[in-house]
Chains A and B, each alone.
Chain A
Amino acid sequence: MKFDIDVLENSIKNLRRAGMRTVLTLIGVIIGIAAIVSLLSVGQGLNVAVETQFQSLGSNTIFVIPGASAGGFSRVTLTDNDITQLESIRGVSDVVPIYGAAAILEYDGQKINVQVSSADAKKSSIFDSTGFFDVQEGRTFSKNDSQAVLIGDKIASDYFDKQIIPRKIVTINGEKFTVIGILKPQAQSFGGGPNTGTSVFMSLDAFNRIAQNVAPSIIFVKTTSGDDVSYAVDEIKSYLDKKYGEKSVMVSSADDLLDQVNAILGVITLVIVGIGGISLVVGGIGIMNSMITAVLERTREIGLMKALGASNQRVLILFVLEAGFIGMIGGIIGVILGYGLSLLISYLGASSGFALNSVINFEITIGALLFALVIGIVSGLLPAIRAANLDPVVALRYE
């Protein structure tokens, strides 16, 4: 099989000749590829966003959440004894419970029910790298803040008619507190950061004063190294299952959760890309249609080529290449457009507080380009075979 520049040049020339037709066929492919690339890019971006969130906590983290299974109905109360038990498990370096309780927040004459949370200040250094407690206004906790609270941005701006700013005094369950800071809103992404916007944080002493039923709403367990995680998870699970019954407390390592979320995201991305991919099938049909027309139009030309000595194979390659080119050029433009679209989406998302970064990925790019090329070649195959098998005598006679 001789492959020379001639055949390539010929294909490109022919495509240019058919002008409008080629352009329209190209547009079909461009739209299809752009759709798939932008969807994949955004999907990957979501994946990355979730992973980053989990990583900020550190990978040796285990989440213990009472009542997270059974539809959140079981109100299992974990005790200090339980905390001590957990601390004694081999490989566990920190056990940090966050206590939560319902309370009435009074400000400017309005009373609103909120969740108040608190953690032991000595243990809360594990949150330093997470940014969960970063403030957008005011300051965070320091040594003697037993009458201080941090409130979420939604409580500050949306809950009450009057906005709450740092230094203002609020009343929680009858006791006065000074708002020292407003929490920075955490960028929400799929299964990601905690929504601190509607939370109120205070010191543990203050919390014990105002809250009636004190129970941990979530416990973060850190292990000394990644290898200790699975053993710790098993030990925690068997201890809690025995004491409170199966499924009453959810115990999950950061990796497990990440896997689950990724799996769900993966399925969703697949479905959406699948639907978007239907457009590529239609685009491929467009290529086929265009090529059949081209073959028909150039029947005499094909007859002439064969009469001058072109082999069937050469004719086949010529047309397959033309189709392949449409695919490839459409693919290149489509990939560029697709990434452009996904960048636009991530920009729009960022401005509405949704952390989304589109991913410009080697795999997506190469994959899309190859796919476009293959679609072109496959769609052009049938017409090309027809062309190759034309009887030169009959072809020359074609009117």
Chain B
Amino acid sequence: MLDTVIHSLKNLRRERVRTFLTLIGVIIGIAAIVALLSVGQGLNQAVSSQLDQLGSNTIYVIPGNPYTGGSNSRITITESDLDKIRSVNNVSDVIPMYISPVTMTFNNEFFGATAMGVNIDDAQVFFDLDYYEIIDGQMISDGDSSSILIGDKLATDAFSKELVVRKKVLLNGQEFRVAGIFKMTIQSEISSANLVMMSDTAIKKLNPTIGPSETWVRTSSTSEVKNVAEKITNYFDKKYGEKSVYVISSDQLLEQVGQIFGLITIFLVGIGSISIIVGGVGIMNAMVTSVVERTKEIGIMKALGASDMKILSIFMLEAGFIGMIGGIIGILIGYGLSILVAIIGAQSGFPLEAGITWEITLGALIFSMLLGMVSGALPAYRAARMDPVEALRYE
């Protein structure tokens, strides 16, 4: 068996240029697929880890169906609704977030900002998650209805004069004091350029009829999540009708995100695999040529007693080797590319890591070997079936 392997390798070395070019074809194809899979994995991991931080005992309750209907079709979740949710078994926290547009007046200038009100004690969870940090001034205390925190970009860019701590501003005509300035560490649509944070008491003062745009419900343990989510859904279905509220657990969210990424990755990999097919055709071409060239040699081998099987295995191995070597180099280049993408991504503030996994590596290796062997199967078969007498006579 070792003989056969050595023989195959020697043959490959003989036809250097041809083997080299065929190899390049395989390398390019494998590198493309590995790079795509790896980047896709990295993206998935980046998003999943962000969601993971929130913990798997969290259920998100959002009024209205985010897939249809505009912001006008959202029902208003009331305090009694929230109390009802709090009374459900195994619910440990209920954190409603109120969001409302406000017109901020400072120094006789106007600016349209977005205000977010939340129970300050509950907001501790955002701190723990490192979503934002206070860079000047101090945190608001619970129940304070006249202080606000403003985003750092808002402080510097919203008005011609910089807005600093202790200054007073008007929000929709009501007076508030800037208690502190914060900086956001995560990516969000509402950014520190237009975000104003306040206590839930304060935002209800501004907008008495407001309902939470999003409510986080935490359960005492992961196993209760499904149950609690069901109970919440049933409650709202009965009260406001089906599809009035969107209830999703963090696990379900992760699943959905994973599915979407999976689909996109499969699609892109599908396109990338076209180049693999062409590479395989190249292997077949090289093997066919090789077989024809060595017709006499095959005749001699057979005359000297080599079985058809042996001939078949020699050529299959050669093809398999091209696949494997091309695969190894391709995997290395593919990962290299994905690491490059991750670095570029990290530079632009997107926490991206190259997804280097066992599955991708092993999968690509086995695939490239199979590719080689399948592509080489036909030529190898032809070689094995050659009539030694005819072969010896070949000119």
Contacts and interface: CB of A to CB of B under 8 A. Distances in A.
B379 to A, nearest CB: 9
Contacts of B190: 70-71, 73
Contacts of B3: none
A80 to B, nearest CB: 16
Given A21-B285, A31-B277, A113 B271 contact: no
A343 interface: no
A275 B282 contact: no
B21 A289 contact: yes
B87 interface: no
Contact of B68 (A21, A115, A244, A283): A115
A27 interface: yes
A329 B277 CA distance: 19
A24 B287 CA distance: 11
B114 A74 contact: yes
A130 B88 CA distance: 49
B112 interface: yes
Nearest to B242: A112
B110 interface: yes
B288 A282 contact: no
B285 A290 contact: yes
Interface in B284-302: 284-286, 288-289
B311 interface: no
Contacts of A90: none
A92 B103 CA distance: 28
B64 A245 contact: no
Given A70-B190, A73-B114, A110-B242, A248 B101 contact: yes
A217 B72 contact: yes
Interface stretch (A101-109, A175-183, A257-265, A390-398): A101-109
B70 interface: yes
Contacts of B288: 20-21, 24
Given A70-B114, A70-B190, A218-B70, A285 B25 contact: yes
B110 A102 contact: no
Interface in A55-73: 66-67, 70-73
B70 A115 contact: yes
B243 interface: yes
A283 B110 contact: no
Interface string A4-47: 00000000000000001100110110011001000100000000
Nearest to B244: A113
Interface string B187-228: 001100010000000000000000001000000000000000
A75 B71 CA distance: 7
B240 A25 contact: no
A195 interface: yes
Interface residues of A, number: 62
- Most chain A CB atoms below 10 A, which of B68, B104, B113: B68
A248 B289 CA distance: 68
Contact of B110 (A28, A76, A245): A245
A304 interface: no
A99 B73 CA distance: 10
B274 interface: yes
A102 B281 contact: no
A163 interface: no
Interface stretch (B28-36, B345-353, B360-368): B28-36
Given A100-B73, A282-B29, A289-B285, A247 B112 contact: yes
A86 B2 CA distance: 85
B111 A245 contact: yes
A74 B73 contact: no
Nearest to B375: A24
B75 A70 contact: no
Contact of B99 (A73, A248, A275): A73
B24 interface: yes
B268 interface: yes
- Most chain B CB atoms below 10 A, which of A25, A100, A111, A272: A111
A193 interface: no
Nearest to B285: A24
Nearest to A110: B242
Contacts of A24: 281-282, 284-285, 288
A278 B113 contact: no
B279 interface: yes
Interface in A204-254: 213, 215, 217-218, 241-242, 244-248
A105 B241 contact: yes
Interface of A: 20-21, 24-25, 27-28, 31-32, 35, 39, 66-67, 70-76, 99-102, 104-106, 110-116, 159, 195, 198, 213, 215, 217-218, 241-242, 244-248, 272, 275-276, 278-279, 281-283, 285-286, 288-290, 292-293
Given A113-B240, A195-B68, A272-B268, 9 more contacts: A75-B72, A105-B241, A111-B241, A159-B242, A217-B70, A245-B112, A246-B111, A286-B281, A288-B21
Give me the 7 closest cross-chain CB pairs, A-B, nearest first: A245-B112, A113-B244, A71-B189, A74-B101, A115-B73, A279-B275, A111-B241
18 contacts: A27-B281, A73-B71, A73-B114, A73-B190, A100-B70, A102-B73, A105-B241, A112-B242, A113-B241, A213-B72, A217-B70, A245-B101, A245-B102, A245-B104, A282-B25, A282-B29, A282-B275, A289-B282
Interface of B: 17-18, 21-22, 24-25, 28-29, 32, 36, 64-65, 68-75, 99-104, 110-114, 189-190, 194, 213, 237, 240-244, 268, 271-272, 274-275, 277-279, 281-282, 284-286, 288-289
